[in-house]
Amino acid sequence: MSQTLEQRIQQLEDRQGLQEVITDYLIAVDALESVEDILNVFTEDAVFDMSGINYPSFAGKPALREFFTGVFAQMTHHAHYATNFKVDAIDGDTAKCRTHVIGMGKTLGGDNVLFYLQYHLGYRRTAQGWKIQSFRGKALMPL
């Protein structure tokens, strides 16, 4: 069945909105200025699972706040580059997406970290737009 123009515009806007959430996340992660800007992209019950890259896994904004407060205290520089954004499914008010990410940083101690990853993302549509409900990191290259 053919779609209306409005439905086709909505799909283009959804795709753009979903990608913008991860862009906003990475801009905030790299600015290293505001943990709240990072939390703003997540739902209250968000699951953050970095066990695939030897980082912790946890759920909920309080745990996210604690984690990123620790990251901000430890890192002097961050640079994350997301590409290959793919919408795998949109089903009403939920969506699943993937994106490749090159992530790097420098610690207070002067160590450099570098990751070649793919994020697997679950989204929920809220009154404030699309938010990340699950966030899982997968290593593409050996850690």
Q: What does the binding site for a copy of itself look like in residue numbers (CB under 8 A)?
A: 5-6, 8-9, 12-13, 15-16, 20, 23-24, 26-27, 30, 77-86, 98, 100, 102, 104-106, 116, 118, 140-142
Closest distance of CB 4 from a copy of itself, Å: 10
Q: Are strands 75-91 and 57-59 parallel, antiparallel or unpaired?
A: unpaired
- Residues 124, 125, 128, 131, Cα dihedral to 10°: 30
Nearer to a copy of itself, 25 or 48 (CB): 25
Closest distance of CB 30 from a copy of itself, Å: 6
Closest distance of CB 56 from a copy of itself, Å: 23
Are 113 and 105 in contact by the 8 Å Cβ rule? The answer is yes
Return d(Cα 135, Cα 130) in angstroms, integer. Answer: 14
The CA-to-CA distance between both ends of the chain, in Å, stands at 47
Return d(Cα 121, Cα 92) in angstroms, integer. Answer: 16
Nearer to a copy of itself, 105 or 137 (CB): 105
Nearer to a copy of itself, 30 or 49 (CB): 30
β-bridge mates for residue 120, sequence order: 98, 136
Return d(Cα 86, Cα 59) in angstroms, integer. Answer: 24
Closest distance of CB 45 from a copy of itself, Å: 26
Nearer to a copy of itself, 77 or 94 (CB): 77
Nearer to a copy of itself, 9 or 36 (CB): 9
Closest distance of CB 8 from a copy of itself, Å: 5
